Structure formats: C-alpha cells, structure tokens
Amino acid sequence: MKFSIEHELPGRLRLRCPEGSFTQADGCVIAALLETQPGVTAATAAHRTGSLLIRYEGDVRASVLTAVEILDDAFYGKIDGSVLISEAPGLEESLASLFGGVVVRALLPRTLRYAVTFLRSLPLLARGLHSLWSKRRFNVSVLDASAVGVSMLRRDFRTATVITTLLTLGNLLESWTHKKSRESLTDSLALNIDRLWVKRDGQEVQISMSDLQIGDLAIIRTGSVIPVDGVVCEGDALVNQASMTGESEPIRRTPPLSVYAGTIVEEGELLVRVTAFDSETRIHKIAEMIHESEALKADIQNKAEKMADAIVPYSFLLAGGIYFWTRDAMRATAALLVDYSCAIRLSTPLTILSAMREGARRGILVKGGRFLEALAAADTVVFDKTGTLTVSAPCVARVVPFDGYTREEVLRTAACLEEHFPHSIARAVVRQAEKERLSHREEHSTVEYAVAHGIASRIPNLGRDLPGDSNQKVLIGSAHFVFEDEGVGCTPEQREVIDRESEKCSVLFLAVGGRLAGILCIEDPLREDARDVVRRLRETGITRFAMLTGDNLRVAENVAGAIGVEEVWAQLLPEDKAEVVKQLKKDRKVVMVGDGINDSPALASADVGVAMRSGADIAQEAADVVLSDNRLHALVDARRLSVGAMEKIYRNYAFIVGANSLLLGLGLSGTITPAMSALLHNLATIGSSLYSLTPILEKPCESDEVGART
C-alpha cells in the first residue's frame, strides 16, 4: 500500500494513504491485521481521510512499516470487512446482552447460578491480578477485583452478581461515551459527497469528486453543501457557515469572497472557482488535526490520571482499617466499591475533547489539550501588528519616486518582485499595480528573500534607456535592510520626504544599483474589532498587552494607542520578536498572536502561539491555535472557552469528591449495601461524564455582523 509518514512520535505513527485507498470495511480489516503484528498495541484506519494511526511498543517501527507496504487489496480484500463491522456491537446490543444475561441467570438453579456468577467474575479477577502481579500497580482494576473477590469468599453470590453487572455496565457506558465524544468531533465535520456539478466549456456537467481539478468552476445551488474551498466568481447567496465559524445567521457571499467546504447554501446560487478539495480543504484539516491532538494531553489531564492512580492504595488502607476495627467484611467491601479515580480519569479528557469540538465549530482550532490549558492560564497577550491588529489587506496610499525614476516604474518594479511572496504588504503592492494596469515581464533574476528584511534580485532594465542601468542589483524592503544592511545612500531631501511620510504610513523602500529609486507608502487600516478585543480580553483576566512590529516606532505607537495597548516594540527582526517573548515568559504566561513568516519564531517561543488562518503557512504550522475564520474576536472566544473548560474540570472534581465521599460514608455506616453503593457510584460517574460534554459558551462574544466585516 502506498503511504507517507504524516506525523511520528515515539511509539506512535500517523501514516497517510491516498484518499480512496480503502473503504470502511477494508479499514476494519487493515486495522485488525496490523494489530496482529508483534509490538503493535493498537491500530486505527480512517477511510474518509486515508489515515492510519498505529501505536506500538519496542523496536518494531521498521517491521510495522514493512507490514503496511505489503497490504494491498489482493491481501486484505480476501477478508469480508463488513462482517467485522456488523460484529462490533453497538450500545443497544451490548446493554441487551448484559441485562438479558442477568434475567437468564436469575432463572437458573442456585448451584448453576453460583457457577455462572463465578465465571462472570473471572475477567474482573484476572484484570486485577494482571495489574497487581505484572504491572505492580494498585489501580482501579485491582480495586474492582478485590470487591468481587471479597464477596465471593464470603459466599455472597448475590452481591457479587450485582457488583459484576454494575461494573460491566459502568465500563460499557464509559467506553461508549468516550468513543462517541471522539467520533463526533470528526464525524460532524465529514463530507459525504461523491458527485457535483461544474461548468466546463460553457456547459454544466456532473462529475465525480475524483475527477475534480483545481480551477474548476463548481455550481452550488440552494440547499446544497459546498464540497470544496473556493472563491465566488458569480452569483449571490446566503451561506450557513455555522460548521466553520459558529455564526448563527447565514452570511451573504458574493464575488470575490471565499467559501469553504462543509458550509451550506441556504438561498441563492454560486459559481465557485475551486482552490482546494478533498484532503486540502479547511474542514479536512480540522478533522486531521483532531486526530493528531489526542497525543497532546493537557497537564491537567495527566495530573488527573496520576491522581486517580494515587488514590487507589488509600482505598485499600481504608478498607483494611475498617475491617480491623469492625470485623465487618460488608462495610470493608463498601470502601472498595466507591473509588474516586474512575470518574476523574474519564471526565477530564471528555471535557478537553468537548471544548476542542466546540472551538472547531467556532473557528478556533486548538492543536492539543495542553494548549487549551495554557491559554486559560495566560496573563499576557502579545500582538503582531501587520495583518493581525490591522486588516489583512493593506493598500498603497502613495508612491514617491526618486533619482529620475517615474512613479509607474517604481510601482511596476516593486510589484514584479513582491508578487513572489505571500505577505499582506506584498499583496497590496501587487494589487495596486494590477489596479493601475501596470503589466510587467519577468526580467529579473532569481529573487532572494531575507525574512523581515526584504528582497534582493537583479534586473536588466526598467523600460528606460539609462546608462549603467543594465543588470543592476535591485532591492525592496525595510529601511534597516536597504540603508543599513545593503548600504544604500539617502540625500537630505529624500530623508525629509521619508520622515514626513513615515509619520502617517509604513514605508517600503526600492533601490536600484545602490541608489534609492523610490518609496511606497503603505496604509494598514486597523481591524474594526481590535480595540474591543483588547477590552474583552482584559475582562477575562489578561493583565498585560504588548505589540511587536518591524514597522517604525511612530506608526506602531499610533496603532497601539488606538487600541489600548501600552507596550510597543518596533523595528524588530524575527529573532528580536522571539527574544521579547522569551523575556516576557520568565515571569508571565504569554500568548503570541501573529500571521506572518516573520512571526513564526515568536509563535513557537510563546506558551501559546495563535495564528490567523489568512496568514503564512509556516505561521499556522508554528502556532498552537489557529483562528480559522480570521475573526480577531475568535481570540476572545478561545480564551473564554479555555477558562470555561478548566472551570468545568474543577467543578467536576468537586462533584466527584463530594458524591463519592457521601457514598463512602453511607456505605461505612451500613445505610446502603455494597450493591447499592456500586450502583450510585456508577451513576455519579456517568453524570459527571455527561456534564463534561455540555457546551461551555452560550453564544459568540460579538455580533455576526462584526465577524463578517472583519
């Protein structure tokens, strides 16, 4: 089977196969076959994404990869995977089997009933002995086995039967709840679309998704799910984007706005130029990230698991002490049946998974539980300026030529160089040239890009017949790059113009042949919601705000003052931004928000890096949280979501400790029997699990209209 290694951790491999490599039935067979390999502890095959997740122990990585290579249709196709699917019982079948067995046992003769009860207890006893003997651990399995074992030794088979049934029921419901919470994260995002209508050569034709190509014009009509990411070319429609952004009302989409796979056209018709489909769509990336995120446990989740295991020995000490003082085995058994660890182990990861699912629906992609926890603990937010606090589409306000060059020559040359790089300022230059219909030929040599500095290349001519103009070195970038790094000179008259323009705009410098050819003044309007976002973040407990930028200090201070940010660092290189974040981290929990290539080191250095979806790919890769719909207000939602998740976990702790302590007291006093204690304990565990799955945020923190504008 063809595959690539998508992600790897010690003992864990994520492989990616071409989509359509196997069906759901085939996936069951592939996973089952891989789990037969020595050292493989678990395998999962996701047919929708072509993903294989393999967990293993020991030095078996090479043999695992070899096993995947030889898997093909001729090999696994001999087994009917649909049988494996049908044989996997659902919750209803499992409950029917469990309680059906209870009824049947009640009708058996006493001796046979006792024998069946003993056989039913053997798996519980075996798991407890295995944990105690092989793993040298006092865990929940040992606790359960001890409770059943004590009842069996006392020949209290009725209690043993009830305990066994309730423990089985509890494990069944816990397993099902956890499984459903994981599956619903990705299944709610899955698209099941095989065919769609496209416009080719002026004709409407229906094609298979496998025949779709980038650049095709997809036709999306009322009531249809949009199966691709793309740009609207024609039409006018109201699109329900709740699956991506959480917006409660449909948003109007017209040319040249973007639409995304998984959203629904509620009214109207669109002609969409396809920019991504299948595994490249944003919704697919969300599902993919959710699969990966399970390996990134929150510290609070790891602490919960360790605390759960640490509690078990004390349950044994308590039971032993009770029996020593009372000689009452029933009361001692009650101490074994009520444990805190089971509910703590289950409720914490369920809360994390539920919060991540809720975030995904609101356009907040959290790459792991530990980042959710870090976001809740943060007290400092550091913003990049360009593209983050300002809109992602700055514009060219003025072009000022120097040294005999014309305005058109400066703008045309700048666009010729900048079109190679996906930065918001670069796009502004290119857009302005296109707006003025200044076409250009690719006459420059290979361009060299210095991150956060500028671009260097060589160009034969600028369309003018000037002596010495052939094959001159051309530079475009910041003042630091052009004047300090490259040594370009500047006359007093030019400096006066530059200083005047720098008070109002960011300035981009163009130099040819070691001389300043002109400047481009870039206006970068603030996001309408920037000031409100800072205010709302303060309300959530953030106490310190800072802004980092490569721009000059005067422009940076104007922006910071307009939004209420007190601290400003200007004219920074990427390594400088990262250093500022590291300094703040010494006594603070820092969130860094950015979108550009030059922000990536700072994003990686922060406790939590947050990137805008419209930003550079490397910034999104370095970030721990991605705001997928580019709403800055989503940062406030992310903060509220993370704080709410942590509060829910602590409320669950309080409930679990309180409820189980009450049950323990009732059992020790003899008020309730061990069987009743087991029943109430399991009900409390299920209750805390269901509470973990409830929504955290009631509504977005700002109006849909603001979200649409930004």
Domains of the chain: 4-87 (3.30.70.100), 92-185+293-352+647-692 (no CATH), 195-226+228-276 (2.70.150.10), 364-391+526-630 (3.40.50.1000), 395-523 (3.40.1110.10)
For 484, the token pair is 């300090």
Using DSSP's 3-state secondary structure scheme, residue 51 falls into strand
For 658, the token pair is 């309180």
Q: How many angstroms separate the CA atoms of 249 and 240, rounded?
A: 7
Helices (H) and strands (E) in the chain, counts: 26, 24
What pLDDT shows up at residue 533?
Answer: 93
Catalytic residue check, 309: no
For residue 193, is pLDDT > 60? Answer: yes
For residue 357, is pLDDT > 60? Answer: yes
- Would you give the distance in Å from CA 403 to the centre of its chain? 51
- CA-based nearest residue to 262, from 179, 361, 182: 361
What pLDDT shows up at residue 700?
Answer: 46
pLDDT, mean of residues 598-605: 80
Give Cβ neighbours of residue 398 (< 8 Å, ≥ 6 apart): 501, 505, 520, 521
What pLDDT shows up at residue 330?
Answer: 66
What pLDDT shows up at residue 709?
Answer: 36
pLDDT, mean of residues 314-318: 72
pLDDT tens digits along 134-151: 766 666 667 667 767 766
Q: How many angstroms separate the CA atoms of 109 and 106, rounded?
A: 8
For residue 488, is pLDDT > 50? Answer: yes
The answer to whether residues 524 and 386 touch, using CB atoms and an 8 Å cutoff, is: yes
What pLDDT shows up at residue 705?
Answer: 38
What share of the chain in percent tops pLDDT 90? 13
Between the ranges 294-303, 576-585, 590-599, 674-683, where is the mean pLDDT highest?
576-585
Burial of 516 (0-12, 13-18, 19+ CB in 10 A): buried
For residue 265, is pLDDT > 50? Answer: yes
Q: How many angstroms separate the CA atoms of 510 and 415, rounded?
A: 11
Indicate the average pLDDT of the chain: 76
Kindly report the backbone phi and psi dihedral angles of residue 628, in degrees, each rounded to the nearest multiple of 5, phi listed first.
-70, -20
For residue 339, is pLDDT > 80? Answer: no
- Other CB atoms within 10 A of residue 32 CB: 15
Largest CA distance in the chain: 111
- 668: confidence class by pLDDT, cuts 50, 70, 90: low
For residue 495, is pLDDT > 80? Answer: yes
215-219, 283-287, 664-668, 700-704, range with the lowest pLDDT: 700-704
- Find the DSSP H helices in 259-403: 282-293, 299-326, 329-337, 341-361, 369-377
pLDDT, mean of residues 347-361: 79
- Would you give the distance in Å from CA 642 to the centre of its chain? 13
- Which position among 384, 599, 607, 637 bears the catalytic label? 384
**With the CA atoms of 630, 632, 635 and 640 taken in that order, what torsion angle do they form, in degrees rounded to the nearest 10?**
-120
Kindly report the backbone phi and psi dihedral angles of residue 35, in degrees, each rounded to the nearest multiple of 5, phi listed first.
-70, -15
What pLDDT shows up at residue 446?
Answer: 64
Q: How many angstroms separate the CA atoms of 442 and 517, rounded?
A: 19
Between the ranges 11-15, 228-232, 446-450, where is the mean pLDDT highest?
228-232
The answer to whether residues 527 and 389 touch, using CB atoms and an 8 Å cutoff, is: yes
- 247: confidence class by pLDDT, cuts 50, 70, 90: very low
Beta strands in 437-482 (DSSP E): 448-450, 454-459, 472-477
pLDDT, mean of residues 52-56: 85
What pLDDT shows up at residue 378?
Answer: 93
Quick one: which H or E segment has residue 407?
helix 407-418
- 87: confidence class by pLDDT, cuts 50, 70, 90: very low
324-328, 490-494, 643-647, range with the lowest pLDDT: 324-328
What share of the chain in percent tops pLDDT 70? 68
15-24, 73-82, 252-261, 363-372, range with the lowest pLDDT: 73-82
The answer to whether residues 237 and 252 touch, using CB atoms and an 8 Å cutoff, is: yes
- CA-based nearest residue to 359, from 22, 17, 7, 696: 696
For residue 445, is pLDDT > 70? Answer: no
Q: Which letter does DSSP use for residue 329 in this model?
A: H
pLDDT tens digits along 671-691: 777 667 767 877 787 788 788
The residue ranking higher by pLDDT, 132 or 549, is 549
Q: How many angstroms separate the CA atoms of 122 and 495, rounded?
A: 87
